[in-house]
């Protein structure tokens, strides 16, 4: 990058500096002053762009993928949602990965575990299952399900309908830290160690076993957060309260043992925008992935406006101001790296941002 002084220096000095850079470059040094301001930027400036994936298109591609490869052969039959500004990186924001996964009737996605944390937001289907560390959960549309770091997980579908969900993982973050570990299970499906619903009964009733401590992976002991429960909470907020000017009625999914996010690296949220709601412009430093569960929303940023309907996914990069407008009551799920930024003292937001 050109420095401010560049125009004022003589060609001789310029050439001498270039020779110096080349010489030190051979010994793996580089001059900071040539790139200081592109490293330490005044505001976030990654290549990440606002982008929108329509479900109708995604669903047709998933159908095609379903004919080309089985879930078992693929291990995970997923179409990665690649940010158009960061193609080839398997990233939807610099820190996070998103994909759409499909399991057809009778299929199995075999057991494995990895240091990456994963979340699922169920988009389509009713009654396929995921098993996490020996506990099976049935999945319904709108449910939020977690696969914390280093937990065994396999997915399967004994229903007669395809099952599709949005995957969110901290893949780019773990790659940046060079902390990826993974292994395959010895069997396709795990054996059950606990009955279905066990974790919800132990930890989901505003109680916890008396000596329960946060686990080393700092993830919630609840694996599944049912959409009906989230809807009931949102409805209560909407019945007796005013919506937040930027967020409407917004809840975060939490780890009952810590009060923190359900997983340490990814925060997940659900919000209801009441009929005719128009949000105040808002931005924050956590690039955020949204999925529309109910209704539809017109999203406006300084560069673009688009409409997102049921099961559509869109991403708002760090520090991009955005406004939501809805006609009917709309429910949005979202996830971001906010808990990481908060833990490190980096997270910022600006309300009424222009
Ligand atoms: O379901 O385990 O989208 O391991 C990417 C990696 C899903 C999964 C993804 C994975 C999974």
Distance 73 CA to ligand 1 centre (A): 14
| Whether the predicted pLDDT of 223 surpasses 90 | yes
312 CA → ligand 1 middle, Å? 19
Cα–Cα distance, 78 to 69 (Å, whole number): 11
Cα(51) to ligand 1 centroid in Å equals 22
Residue given tokens 């909407």 in the structure block: 238
Token pair of 199 as six digits: 């974790």
In a domain, 238, yes or no: yes
Query: What gap in Å lies between CA 276 and CA 272, rounded to an integer?
Result: 12
Cα separation, 144 vs 260, in Å, equals: 16
Residue 84 lies in a domain: yes
> Could you tell me the CATH number of the domain that includes residue 157?
2.60.120.10
Q: Is residue 336 part of a domain?
A: yes
Domain that holds residue 280: 51-351
Pocket test for ligand 1, best of 131, 152, 165, 169 (most atoms within 8 A of CB): 169
Residues in contact with 245: Cβ distance below 8 Å, sequence separation at least 6, in sequence order: 279, 280, 351, 352
User: Tokens 């052969």 label which residue?
Assistant: 73
pLDDT of 294 higher than 70: yes
Express as a percent the part of the chain with pLDDT over 90: 96
DSSP count for the chain of H helices, then E strands: 8, 22
Contact 226, 270 (CB under 8 A): no
- Condensed to tens digits (0 to 9), the pLDDT of residues 188-221 reads 999 999 999 999 999 999 999 999 999 999 999 9
The phi, psi pair for 18, rounded to 5°, reads: -60, -40
**Contact 203/213 with Cβ under 8 angstroms?**
no
Is the distance from CB of 340 to CB of 265 less than 8 angstroms? yes
CA of 167 to the centre of ligand 1 (A): 7
- In the predicted structure, residue 166 carries a pLDDT above the cut 90: yes
Does any domain span residue 22? no
Calculate Rg over the CA atoms of the chain: 23
Which residues have CB under 8 Å from 60's CB, separation 6+? none
Distance CA 214, CA 267 (A): 17
**pLDDT of 8:** 86
* Greatest Cα-to-Cα distance within the chain, rounded to the nearest angstrom: 77
Confidence of residue 6 (pLDDT cuts 50, 70, 90): low
Query: Whose structure tokens read 């901290």?
Result: 170
Instruction: Look at residue 11 and tell me if it is in a domain.
Output: no
Task: Identify the pLDDT of residue 319.
Answer: 98
Residue 213, domain member (yes or no)? yes
- What are the helix (H) ranges across the chain? 11-26, 36-39, 55-68, 71-74, 171-176, 198-203, 227-239, 338-343
Q: What is the pLDDT of residues 38-72, one digit of tens each?
A: 999 999 999 999 999 999 999 999 999 999 999 99
Q: What is the mean pLDDT of residues 144-150?
A: 97
Tally of domains in the chain: 1
- Average pLDDT of the residues of the chain: 96
Q: How far apart are the first and last CA of the chain?
A: 28
| pLDDT reading at 146 higher than 60 | yes
285 and 345 Cβ atoms separated by less than 8 Å? no
Q: How far is the CA of 76 from the centre of ligand 1 (A)?
A: 6
| Average pLDDT of the segment spanning 223-252 | 97
Ligand 1 proximity of 99 Cβ (cutoff 6 Å): yes
The residue whose CA has the least distance to atom 8 of ligand 1 is 76
167 CB less than 6 Å from ligand 1? yes
Task: Over range 323-332, report the average pLDDT.
Answer: 98
Q: Which residues of 115-139 are buried (b: 16+ CB within 10 A; e: fewer)?
A: ebbbbbbbbbbeebbbbbbebbbbb
Residue 39 lies in a domain: no
For tokens 């409407």, the residue is: 248
Residue 3 predicted with pLDDT over 90:
no
- The residue whose CA is least distant from atom 9 of ligand 1 is 167
pLDDT-derived band at 176 (thresholds 50, 70, 90) equals very high
Q: Global pTM? A: 0.96
Q: Is the dihedral of CA 188, 191, 196, 200 positive or negative?
A: negative
Residue 46 lies in a domain: no
pLDDT of the residue at 241: 86
């Amino acid at each position: 990058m050109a420095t401010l002084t560049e125009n004022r220096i003589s060609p001789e000095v310029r050439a001498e500096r270039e020779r110096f850079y080349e010489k030190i470059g051979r010994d793996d040094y580089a001059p900071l002053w040539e790139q200081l301001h592109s490293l330490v930027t005044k505001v976030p400036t990654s290549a990440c762009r606002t982008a929108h994936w329509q479900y109708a298109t995604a669903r047709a591609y998933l159908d095609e993928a379903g004919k080309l490869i089985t879930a078992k052969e693929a291990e995970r039959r997923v179409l990665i949602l690649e940010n158009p500004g960061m193609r080839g990186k398997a990233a939807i924001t610099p820190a996070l990965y998103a994909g759409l996964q499909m399991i057809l009737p009778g299929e199995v996605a075999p057991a494995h575990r990895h240091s990456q944390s994963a979340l699922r937001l169920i988009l389509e289907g009713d009654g396929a299952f995921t098993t996490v560390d020996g506990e099976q959960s049935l999945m319904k549309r709108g449910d939020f399900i977690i696969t914390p770091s280093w937990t065994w997980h396999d997915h399967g579908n004994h229903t007669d309908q395809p099952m599709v969900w949005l995957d969110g993982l901290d893949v780019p973050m773990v790659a940046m830290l060079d902390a990826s570990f993974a292994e395959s299970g010895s069997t396709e499906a795990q054996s059950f160690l606990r009955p279905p619903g066990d974790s919800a009964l132990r930890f989901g009733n505003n109680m916890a076993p008396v000596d329960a401590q946060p686990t080393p992976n700092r993830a919630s002991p609840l694996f599944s957060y049912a959409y009906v429960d989230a809807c009931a909470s949102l409805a209560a907020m909407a019945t007796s309260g005013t919506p937040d000017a930027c967020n409407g009625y917004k809840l975060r999914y939490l780890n009952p043992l810590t009060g923190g996010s359900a997983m340490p690296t990814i925060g997940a949220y659900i919000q209801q925008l009441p009929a005719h709601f128009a949000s105040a412009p808002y931005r924050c430093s956590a690039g955020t992935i949204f999925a529309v569960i109910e209704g539809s929303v017109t999203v406006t940023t300084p560069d673009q406006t688009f409409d997102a309907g049921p099961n559509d996914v869109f991403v708002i990069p760090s520090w991009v101001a955005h406004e939501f407008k809805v006609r009917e009551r709309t429910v949005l799920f979202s996830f971001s790296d906010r808990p990481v930024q908060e833990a490190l003292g980096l997270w910022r937001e600006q309300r009424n941002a222009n």
